[in-house]
């Protein structure tokens, strides 16, 4: 009985902190502190050299992106996210087993939160959101697993490349996972990764519709033609669309109702 009671109390605390996190992280009155923790995913000299040269300036485009988009949505805060680069970690987050069920996924998520709590938070500043970035030598790992962002615990795990010409693409993934932690959902088809119309398009009302000039952040790819799309390599070509803005509470539901109807693709 005592054991069950203890477990119930733990679950209650976890549920309450999750609810509190969700409330606090989507008020957008003061900046959210994002702590970025770099981790070397392999022993490659390329990765080590890249990490040794990693500085806060590499993440400045992220800061500018959120300021620019916040201004577009007339957010109360001018600076929605403050970014802090932390020292390199020498521990990797627990990985979810491929094909894990609901129960083992829940357990893995608790393990991840526990791991994150243990390795982070040694700074005086608040850490509202923590993103752990695992850098890979692209020659050893040409394709990386899907990154993830959890609303539970406000934690992101990003699989990135230790290559200077991938800095822009890495920042797109970090921004994408950051928005997952505050409640945004994916806007692409899981089968072929194509941006979904209209919410996954940078501008669903653009004329002509293709090629899209911008990518929607939660789609992560820009439509070039009805059957062609390309990964976004810089936040300069990315926007936060209204559907995502609604999910992260940058827009209110009432405003969506009065917004003009969206156009449909030609012939659809």
For binding to Zn ion (CB under 5 A), which residues are involved? 186
Judged by CB, which is closer to Zn ion: 31, or 156? 156
CB of 149 to Zn ion, least distance (A): 7
Q: Minimal CB distance to Zn ion: which residue?
A: 186
CB of 184 to Zn ion, least distance (A): 8
Is residue 97 within 8 Å of 109, Cβ to Cβ? Answer: no
Q: Where are the beta strands (DSSP E) in the chain?
A: 32-40, 81-85, 129-136, 148-150, 155-161, 215-216, 221-225, 228-231, 238-239
One-character DSSP codes across 165-192: GGHHHHHHHHHHHHHHHTT----B-TTT
Judged by CB, which is closer to Zn ion: 128, or 186? 186
Is residue 177 within 8 Å of 147, Cβ to Cβ? Answer: yes
Judged by CB, which is closer to Zn ion: 186, or 216? 186
CB of 147 to Zn ion, least distance (A): 7
Judged by CB, which is closer to Zn ion: 83, or 218? 218
CB of 175 to Zn ion, least distance (A): 11
CB of 218 to Zn ion, least distance (A): 7
Is residue 198 within 8 Å of 186, Cβ to Cβ? Answer: no
- Phi and psi (nearest 5°) for 160? -125, 170
Judged by CB, which is closer to Zn ion: 31, or 149? 149
Cross-strand partners of 161 = 136
Q: How open is the CA angle 123-62-237, to the nearest 5 degrees?
A: 170
């Amino acid at each position: 009985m005592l054991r069950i009671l203890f477990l119930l109390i733990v679950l209650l605390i976890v549920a309450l902190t999750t609810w509190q996190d969700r409330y606090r992280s989507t008020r957008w009155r003061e900046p959210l502190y994002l702590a970025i923790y770099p981790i070397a995913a392999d022993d490659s000299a390329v990765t080590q050299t890249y990490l040794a040269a990693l500085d806060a300036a590499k993440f400045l485009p992220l800061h500018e992106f959120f300021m620019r988009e916040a201004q577009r949505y007339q957010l109360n805060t001018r600076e929605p996210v403050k970014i802090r680069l932390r020292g390199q970690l020498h521990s990797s987050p627990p990985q979810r087993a491929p094909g894990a069920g609901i129960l083992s996924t829940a357990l893995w998520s608790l393990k991840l939160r526990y791991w994150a709590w243990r390795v982070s938070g040694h700074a005086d500043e608040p850490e509202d959101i923590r993103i752990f970035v695992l850098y890979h030598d692209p020659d050893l790992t040409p394709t990386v697993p899907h990154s993830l962002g959890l609303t539970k615990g406000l934690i992101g795990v990003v699989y990135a490349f230790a290559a200077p010409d991938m800095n822009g693409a890495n920042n797109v993934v970090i921004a994408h996972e950051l928005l997952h932690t505050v409640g945004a959902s994916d806007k692409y088809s899981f089968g072929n990764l194509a941006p979904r119309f209209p919410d996954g398009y940078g501008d669903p009302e653009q004329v002509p519709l293709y090629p899209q000039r911008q990518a929607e952040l939660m789609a992560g790819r820009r439509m070039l033609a009805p059957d062609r799309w390309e990964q976004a390599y810089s936040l300069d070509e990315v926007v936060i669309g209204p559907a995502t803005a609604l999910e992260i509470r940058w827009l209110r539901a009432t405003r969506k109702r009065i917004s003009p109807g969206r156009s449909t693709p030609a012939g659809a």
